[in-house]
Amino acid sequence: MTLRTHNPAPEASAAPANTAPAASASANPGPSSTDTGTQAPPRRIPRRTLITGAAWSVPVIAIAVAAPAAAASTTSPPPPPSTWTPVICGGPSSINGQNDNGQYLVEQHELVITYRTIPQNQIDVNVRFLDGTSHNVHYDFKNWPLAPGSNVLTINLAGFSLTGPAWVQVDTFNSHYSDPACPAPASNK
């Protein structure tokens, strides 16, 4: 079977003068006058295409790996305590020999700090929860939480744990919640 190709005659102005005639196709092609004995290099994928494809595949792989682990998880965090006794820590330096910068109220999901002297450059609060997790709240001049003239700071702890705090440390206070100077009631443990 012979394949025929239709090559229209080139126009004089469109084709160069040294155009070679097209080789005819056959069942067993041999070397042609244009064959140099080497194969054409394989087609390469541009680096940008490769990097873009890899970047999009990372989130897909991460989700695919995390999904079975999340589905297999059967433990849920413990429920919040049914009764919670609010505790006030700190006070004048004469109480328990502590030197505290005011007082702070520890509740199940709220911490209210009333400063005697407003901190000038940073506020740090460390909380360990009954479920074993912990969280640090840090404020500095970039995210200062106190309104001018205010000395009361309220921190909502509900977003950090489903349980109440087991231990609280407020910077500029020597009384730490759940330490001997400010013990936690048995109902809060």
Write the pLDDT tens digit of every residue in 4-41.
555 554 444 444 445 444 444 444 544 544 555 566 66
What's the mean pLDDT in 71-75? 52
- pLDDT tens readout for residues 31-42: 544 555 566 667
Give me 187's structure tokens. Answer: 């109902």
**Measured distance CA(83)–CA(79) in Å, rounded:** 12
Per-residue pLDDT band at 148 (split at 50, 70, 90): confident
In whole numbers, what is the pLDDT of the chain averaged over residues? 73
**Measured distance CA(115)–CA(119) in Å, rounded:** 8
What's the mean pLDDT in 52-62? 56
pTM, 2 dp: 0.55
What's the mean pLDDT in 67-94? 64
- CATH code for the part of the protein at 87-188: 2.60.40
Q: Between the CA of residue 163 and those of 90, 105, 187, what are the distances in Å? A: 23, 16, 13
